[in-house]
Structure formats: C-alpha cells, structure tokens
Amino acid sequence: MEYLPNICFAIALFIGIAYFTRNVKKLIRNIKLGLDVEVVDQKPLRWKNMLMVALGQSKMVKRPIAGMLHIIVYLGFIIINIEILEIVIDGLVGTHRVGLKVLPVHVYGVLIGTFEILAVLVFVAVIVFWLRRNTIKLQRFWKSEMTSWPKNDANYILYFEMVLMALFIVMNATDVNFQSLNSGNIVSQFVADWFSGLPENTLHVIERTAWWLHILGVLIFLNYLYFSKHLHILLAFPNTYYAKLTPNGKLNNLESVTNEVKMMLDPNIDPFASPPEGTSPEVPAKFGASDVQDLSWVQLLNAYTCTECGRCTSECPANQTGKKLSPRKIMMDTRDRLEEVGKNIDANKGVFKEDGKQLLDNYISREELWACTTCNACVEACPVSIDPLSIIMDMRRYLVMEQSAAPAELNNMMTNIENNGAPWPYNQMDRLNWKNE
C-alpha cells in the first residue's frame, strides 16, 4: 500500500500522455489530407516570424488591453507549469517538493514566489476575459457563428485556468512544511490564514487533494486542447513558421493555368500536336477547391490553429456592412469539415468513404465566398498569421473554372475584358467612355 499513490500517479500520467499522443497523431493525419506544398524557403525569416508572432505575441498587442492580458495568461500559465516537472518527479518517486533537495532554499523560494505572483495575475486576467465575454459582451464574441459550443468552449478554458491557479495557491497555503520555510510563500501566506486553526492532518488532506486535482486538471486540460479552439497554444508555432511570406496583396497563380497560358502564347508550340510517343497527355488537376482535400496542408493547419478570437471578422468590411461573410466562420467551417472527414476515415478503417458532402455548399455558402472584397484585412488582423482569404480564393476558383458559376456581374466583366480589353462595355476606340459613367 505504501507505493499505491505512486502507482496510481504513474497510471494517470501514462493514460493522459497516451491519449494526447493518439490525438496528436490523428491531428497530423488530418492535416496531411491536404495537398502537398513546399514551404522551406527563407528559413531565417520563418524562424523570426515564429519567435515574434507566436512567442513574442507581436500581433496580439496591436489591441493593447487584450494583448497584455493575453501575454500575462499565456506566459504565466506556461511558466507556472514548470512546477509540473517537480510534481511529476514527486508523484513517480514518492518524494515531496524534490526541488528543495536539489536547490538552495532561497532559490527555490524565488521560483515558487514568482509562480505565486504569476498565478494571481493569471487569475485576475482570466476574470477580466470572462467579463469581456459574458458581461460586457464584446460584439465579436457574439456573432452568429459563435453558437453554444464555441461560446461554452471559451468559458470552459477560462474556468479551467481559474481552478488550476486556485489549486496551486491552496496547495502551497496548506503545505505546513513549505509555509514554515517562510520563503516563496508571497501570496499563499495570506491564503494560509483562511485555514488557520485546522488540525495538521486536515491541512495535509487538503494539500494532497489540491495536489492531485492540480496534476489531474493539467492532464485533462492537455487532452481537452484537441477538441478546443485552444489548440492554438501548440499550433501557433508551426503555423507562424509556415505562414505566407509574400506581400498580402500578392495572390498565387495556379501552375496548371500558368502553363496553359504560356503554351498559348508560345508560337513554337502546336497546341494540337499529339503527345510524344510513349507518353500520355497530362490530365489537368482539379481547379480550385470544393472540399478540404483540395486545400493545401498549410491551409488545413490554419483551420486547426484558429483561435476564434474574431479579430478577422471584426476587421472585415463585408461583415461590417451586413454581408454574410465572416472570415472566422470560414476557418471554423473548414476545421469542422476536416474533423468530419477524419471521423469518416476512422470509421472506415483508414479509408474515406464518400459521404455526399463537401465544404462548398454544405458548410460554406457561395454567398459568403462572393461577399469577400479580397482586401486582406482578415489576414492582417489575425494574431497567429492565418490566411482565410486563400481558402476563399481557392473555392472561388473552383466555382469559376470547374462550374462556370461566377455571378452575372463578374461574368459580364470577364466577357468585356476578353472582348474589349477592359471591364467596361466599350470597344477599344471608346474605352475612355468609362469616365462618363
């Protein structure tokens, strides 16, 4: 019985890490369903972007209040969880505060004291975040796509963080030996007064309960990430590394279309010539995207990284003028469809079975796609370098090039460009008449 707590701890740790690993493999599998693209250029710049945007939160602080609060929560939560290393060692080996055995008391006190101050700051920041969402009700948190699950998911995370921070302080406050050191108990010494008068055995039970709940809470939180928008805690780093490096206004060209145009413009190529003997004519790839498998793996990584913060939608001029488009919804829909495809594969022994659905129409409407002005406001606003516009453009390309389903206004414009060399319905001799319109 002496080693029962250590055995229970080892089992809980193994289950938590194993389930997390299983979900990470599924996540990678789903992302790899996307088309392969090469993004290995300009590595120094990519590393710089990752350090500045993902670690340094450089785009978050463009909105100072939310940005600073987010930095407190993010860094505080990460730094405080350094103590998880001590908890894991204690849990597996059966020691208590092993840090005191390897570090001088004053050094250990500085570390724990820093953790306690950060815990209080995180707790306060999380309360402010909760108030912004649920009392002040900032508009971007209450858009139509923010249904019960997205709203509840955000609050669940806030509750998780508040409880974990409180458990950390209570754990320290009821640890009689730690309090007797009078080093590092910067905050917990005041909380310890709430438990004054209780027998030492009772304090020990409370401390052990808080200790167990804290580590189990961390393991639950870790595994909850896969199902939550807070997956960006992990994916923000690769997402910012693989983010687009070209200017936002520069759209990519489809290689198949570019080659076709080059062939048409090359007087030395006979478009009607038969392919060389022993080869078959190249079948053009599908133009654009109608489902998640038609998108690149970087775009699918974008979808999983979305924080659902709504900065993109709040900056979108189409959304501001009442159009149906919400860049946040584009990313959420892409992730939801990708999850549906992944579950389909799991249910059919690793093979996708046609389900009669696709991202286009079943998740994202054509009205949404054509409402976009391609201004890149959403791309500029995203704090983790997500590119909703690239998905919109690929789906538009499918509509135009595969289904000839462009809006009448766009068809008229393209016809005028083909016939007159300009978007307006005037011939070459009268092309300046547009100024009188």
Amino acid occupying residue 368: E
Instruction: Name the residue with higher pLDDT: 413 or 159.
Output: 159
Residue type for 72, please?
I
Q: What secondary structure letter does DSSP report for 196? A: T
Specify the 3-state DSSP secondary structure of 381: helix
Position 434 scores a pLDDT of 61
155 token code pair: 């609050």
Whole-number Å distance between alpha carbons of 192 and 218: 23
- Asked whether residue 266 carries a pLDDT value surpassing 90, the answer given is no
Alpha-carbon distance values, 147 to 141, 151, 153 (Å): 10, 6, 10
Are 90 and 8 a contacting pair, CB within 8 Å? no
CA 107 to CA 408: how far, in whole Å? 71
**Cβ atoms of residues 242 and 46 within 8 Å:** yes
Categorize the per-residue pLDDT at 426 as very low, low, confident or very high, splitting at 50, 70 and 90: confident
Length of the chain: 437
Quick one: pLDDT band at residue 89, thresholds 50, 70, 90? very high
Q: In Å, what is the CA distance from 174 to each residue of 26, 206, 229?
A: 41, 7, 34
Distance CA 171, CA 159 (A): 18
* pLDDT at position 274: 65
Q: What distances in angstroms separate CA 173 from CA 91, 104, 164, one per listed residue?
A: 19, 20, 14
Angle of helix 297-305 versus helix 232-241 axis, rounded to 10? 140
pLDDT of residue 410: 86
User: What are the pLDDT digits (tens) for 194-228?
Assistant: 998 899 999 999 999 999 999 999 999 999 999 99
- Determine the CATH number of domain 255-268+282-427: 1.10.1060
Integer-rounded Cα Rg, in Å, for the chain is: 28
Query: Percentage of the chain with pLDDT > 70?
Result: 95
| pLDDT band, residue 254 (cuts 50/70/90) | confident
Would you state the structure tokens that stand for residue 143, as one six-digit string?
A: 């858009």
What confidence category does residue 297 fall into, taking pLDDT thresholds of 50, 70 and 90?
very high
pLDDT given for residue 431 in this prediction = 65
Q: Over the stretch 27-72, which tens digit does the pLDDT of each residue have?
A: 999 999 999 998 989 999 999 999 999 999 999 998 998 899 999 9
Classify residue 10 by its DSSP letter: H
If phi > 0 it is left, if psi is from -120 to 50 it is alpha, else beta; for residue 69 that is alpha
Given a contact cutoff of 8 angstroms between Cβ atoms, the answer to whether 172 and 185 are in contact is: yes
pLDDT-derived band of residue 122, with 50, 70 and 90 as boundaries?
A: very high
d(CA 195, CA 316): 52
Residue 278 has φ and ψ, to the nearest 5°, of: 90, -5
pLDDT at 271 over 70: no
Residue 357, helix vs strand vs coil: coil
In angstroms, the CA 122 to CA 263 distance is 60
Confidence bin at 237 (pLDDT 50/70/90): very high
**Looking at the predicted structure, is the pLDDT value of residue 435 above 70?**
no
Handedness of CA 228, 234, 236, 239 (dihedral sign): negative
Which pLDDT score is estimated for 282? 58
Token pair 């030996």 is at which residue?
177
- Average of per-residue pLDDT across 399-404: 90
Residue 253 near residue 63, CB atoms below 8 Å: no
- Three-state helix/strand/coil letters over 77-88: HHHHCCHHHHHH
Split at pLDDT 50, 70, 90, the class of 267 is confident
Q: Give the model's pLDDT for residue 1.
A: 65
Work out the average pLDDT over 389-401.
Answer: 94
Of 145, 149, 150, which is closest to residue 363 (Cα–Cα)?
145
Mean pLDDT of 280-297: 82
